[in-house]
Structure 1
Amino acid sequence: MNLAIKSVKAIPAYIPVNLAVGPVDVETALSCVVIEITTEDGVVGHGFTAITDEEVIAGIISELVEPNIVSLNSLNREHIAERLYWLLSPRGQTGYASHVVSAVDLALWDILGKVVDQPCWRLLGGARNEVPLYVTFGFGSFDRDQLSDAAKHLKNDGVERFKMVVGHHALKKRNDGASVRAIIDEDIQRVRIVREAIGDCDLFIDANCSLDASSARYLADRLRDYNVTFFEEPLRDNDVKRMRDLREQTGMRTAAGQNEGQLFRFRDLLEAGAVDVIQPNVAICGGLTAGAKVAALAQAHNVTMANGGAFPFHNMHLHAGMANGGLVEWHLISVEMCRALYGNLPDRVGSTITLPEKPGLGFVADADALRDFASRPTSHGVGKG
């Protein structure tokens, strides 16, 4: 069988999403890139990345990656990952390169699974065929009433773990004259409303790296009575030292890692004691190959691992495959986006999802949908969520 790479195609997409959660209905959009790698014998693997600028990623793949990996054996994932490191980030840079590598690596794992007729989660180790979920629902576009209504609807649907956004790009808005304190004071009321709606269920909050250390501590101190399970990405830049300080000063558990793209960044977070939960995202950190290495680091440091940054249908394979796999994020907007791109996606049942037995990633890219989205305008920087 000739498994040499014949072609690499990148499809940028900016996807409108209608999010309906019980009585709550909002319109939004997210961007992504789907990559299609075809071998000489016609085996096709699909990869994916997001929370980035789709125009840039597609250009890098077309102009740099394809000429440098065509003819290589698609099963030689470590060799290809190392080649892409020296091509795209030879001095340890983070950024767009890790998104590109993630998309390529996921496509290569998809090919491997199809060649050996096994799902990726089993090839990674097959620790379990079902993973627990938490549901990200509390978006900044929801007002207080919508937050409460959506939370109650999801709880009635069997959801046990809830995540909501705080911070709301506070430091970015401060640059345009907004008051960070006013944003945080509103967050306190929003968290109170969600806690009242979900009762004793787990509640996670996520600032998306949008606060400084003082503001994050102010918020954490005032949320003590609401029993927050963890505070995700509380600080700008995932500041390792200040995040450790925040843990020690407030006693609130911290989580980070979903937007990291180099292995040394995960090492630094773990060695510094900056996080209680490390969150590699295989659509960003370097794919399943890098995700498995982060899982090993987490196990060696005795730190819990969970999926952050959405895209459960790719990340579920890591957490089902590895013995120390943990929670997978059922991010409602990203789920709807993926449903627009793929067929045969599994669905959640309450707060769990069962992994597919189909080979590779276990779902099929919709060729007609990809052509449609590729023909539409791109996001021009506003599709990262």
Structure 2
Amino acid sequence: MEDGRVDQAARIVVIGAGQAGFSACVKLRALGHTGSITLIGDESHPPYQRPPLSKGLLLGETTEERLYFRPLSFYAEKGIELRLSSTVQAIERSARKVRLADGSEVAYDRLLLATGARPRVLPAEIGGELGGVFHVRNLVDINSMANRFREGQRVLIIGGGYIGLEAAAVSSKLGLQVTLVEASDRILQRVASPETSQFFRELHASHNVTVLEETGIRRLMGEDGHVRAAELSDGSVRPVDFVIVGIGVHPNAELARDAGIEVDNGIVVDADCRTSDPDVFAAGDCASFPWKAGRIRLESVGNAIDQGEAAAKAMLGESAGYLAKPWFWSDQFDVKLQIAGLSTGYDRVATRHGAGNAVSYWYYRGDELLAVDAMNDSRVYMAAKRLIEAGKSPPPHVIADTTVDLKSLL
């Protein structure tokens, strides 16, 4: 069309019924798109929230149905064809269609890849395929391990990132005997400062979680096909009833790669979420997008929502470019951690203490404020987020001074 907008009757297909895919479909209808929208998901459940899986659902504080973004009737009302339990086998770019495992095909004018990411797994040769070894990614994972969470059960958690720590917190709350191993020098090494690591190390220790840093897994040992013990890198052997693996994820980029679309630590997109094929877009955990002088891939709910909506605008020719505003959170025991910005490349940390056990760590590179970790201090988090998004960097000594009202810095 002459105004740069895409035909409102264009056929749009979205592969991946997670947060990014769902957000894109809803945004397309909100923007007035009248053409067909097909949302394809490989799970049997309608699109649902994932963060509560490892927390509220396991703790019995919420139900499966309450995780759904919308009831099934919503998709019919919005004219979104929801194809569940459907796996896409190939993208045929020249014919503009996707081929499903059941042999059916769906034609598209614009295609969005919101394929997410999958957990890294332990190799089979060290026991990764034994019964009782679980990952935390989807409802099937959680439902398959839920009956293991019984008081007195011995759980080994492999990986000291946020997924592992959240699983440890839930396990401890439910009365399990919890051991967490982290191969790096400290938990959260890849994503947080030593100060934040120490905060959570002490928090978990206070709840009887055994945290072993600089400790890897040599092998899991089984009996009758089920995991029974773990041999650690220090040579010790620990009896276990089940294992949760949280050692990161792989972006699901194979569909794009096999279709000849550029891939580099995810599906490569430009500022408009467009891949190397102008009719194919990508968003969410699977997408590698421009960030400052390089590229990043963000694994967060916030990014999935915002980028999914940005992709919807771009598919209709309305995009002004996606500008990420990274934010994350984690709930562990009685602590709510809120993170604004990205700390990559920081060289110093300022500490600001709040009331009670509230504390925040502010990451700087030179004089530039990059990110903030705020524990039990939502007001500080909100002020920090606004400062970062506005490009303002108060000096570290000002931040550390609790007599300074952060609002005055805005």
State the TM-score, normalized to the length of structure 1. Answer: 0.24
Greater strand share, structure number: 2
Higher relative contact order (CA 8 A, sep 6+): 1
Tell me which structure has the larger Cα radius of gyration: 2
Greater helix share, structure number: 1
State the TM-score, normalized to the length of structure 2. Answer: 0.23
